[in-house]
Structure 1
């Protein structure tokens, strides 16, 4: 890997880390359940992007199943929160 590739990889890792810390902070501090749900979705998206970037850098697809499972949990979690909030609004 060239020095440019290493620099880009380190920069991407730092950016993913900062985004993940911000999402975890919003999950902890978020004033409403929707803020926390959105932050959890963002954290899952950051995790999926980081895994995808790692696969691209190392030229493998060994963790593709992990990526797919995370995507499934993100979709199912969003649907569950939407249904929960819809039932809460009806009351």
Structure 2
């Protein structure tokens, strides 16, 4: 059953990568990368559960923090860039 969940997570990750490459706007691409990061966290957690290694959850938490901080940074960059275009 957990093997099916890993396959499903990997398929969603593949679809998120496709969306990131062919997204019509920057925000669609950012959302797809965020989805990919979230599914990666879930994948690491399930992998840690399957292998019986609880330290994988620590790795998943650190990755979640990095994912959150990087998405906030990218969104602020695009917001700042949009403000500069509007002021010009």
| Shorter-chain TM band | 0.7 to 0.9
Q: Distance in 2 between matches of 1:90 and 1:77?
A: 20
SS in structure 2 of the partner of residue 66 of structure 1: helix
Correspondence 1:76 to 2:69: yes
The root-mean-square deviation of aligned C-alpha atoms, in Å, is 1.5
Give the equivalent residue in structure 1 for 2:6. 13
What are the equivalent positions in structure 2 for 1:1-91 lying under 5 Å apart? 8-91=1-84
Q: Distance in 2 between matches of 1:43 and 1:27?
A: 9
TM-score norm. by structure 2 comes to 0.82
TM-score norm. by structure 1 comes to 0.80
Which stretches in structure 1 are left out of the alignment for 5+ residues? 1-7
What displacement does 1:88 show?
2.6
What displacement does 1:60 show?
1.5
